[in-house]
Amino acid sequence: MAGQSHYTPEMPDFDRPVKVLIVVAPFYKDIADDLVAGARQMLARVDASVELVEVPGALEIPTAIRIAQRTGDFDGYVALGCVIRGETTHYETVCNDSSRALTLLGLDGCCIGNGILTVENHDQAAIRAGEQDKGGGAAAAALHLIALSRKWRGTGKGIGFKPHGEDMRQS
């Protein structure tokens, strides 16, 4: 992989303040701290308001985001943590289930940057959390999705049924 370059879209501009919740599972505290630092640095570039919560593990991250989505006032979310392969199949369960739950939340309209590292060993995690700045990358992903959400908010297609309580528009 050395020598490859990756395209990264320009960061969006925001005309209204952005509020982001970082949900981190600090099981590997040194890795989590680097991921959070990268995310905070990226979010500071757009003067985002940031709140941070810790949960016990990667499986709890999607649940915490869903609770915040229902009860909080956030524009987007950054999921951070690290899962290192062990000797059992628990690794696959945690990786697959946390990723699937975050994807389902995203498909439901939640603006999430997924920065849960899934690695073979601590050295790989340290590189991804540090020099590769996967925490910053996850925050950037959330910001891009927030920008898209704001761009397309209220631009319904005018077909189908309206949810209960929405006024009918006359042409």
What are the beta bridge partners of residue 20?
50, 76
How confident is the model over 37-78, as pLDDT tens digits?
999 999 999 999 999 999 999 999 999 999 999 999 999 999
How confident is the model over 77-132, as pLDDT tens digits?
999 999 999 999 999 999 999 999 999 999 999 999 999 999 999 999 999 999 99
The confidence band for 6, taking pLDDT boundaries of 50, 70 and 90, is: confident
39, 168 contact by CB (below 8 A) = no
Residue whose C-alpha is closest to residue 38's, from 138, 111, 117, 127: 138
Host H or E run for residue 147 = helix 134-152
**3-state secondary structure at position 84:** strand
Expressed in angstroms, the distance from the first to the final Cα of the chain is 56
With a cut of 80, say whether residue 168 has pLDDT above it: no
**3-state secondary structure at position 81:** strand
What are the beta bridge partners of residue 51?
21
164 among known catalytic residues: no
What are the beta bridge partners of residue 77?
21, 112
How confident is the model over 7-29, as pLDDT tens digits?
889 999 999 999 999 999 999 99
Tell me what pLDDT residue 169 has: 47
With a cut of 70, say whether residue 155 has pLDDT above it: no
Tell me what pLDDT residue 25 has: 98
Catalytic pick among 6, 90, 144, 164: 90
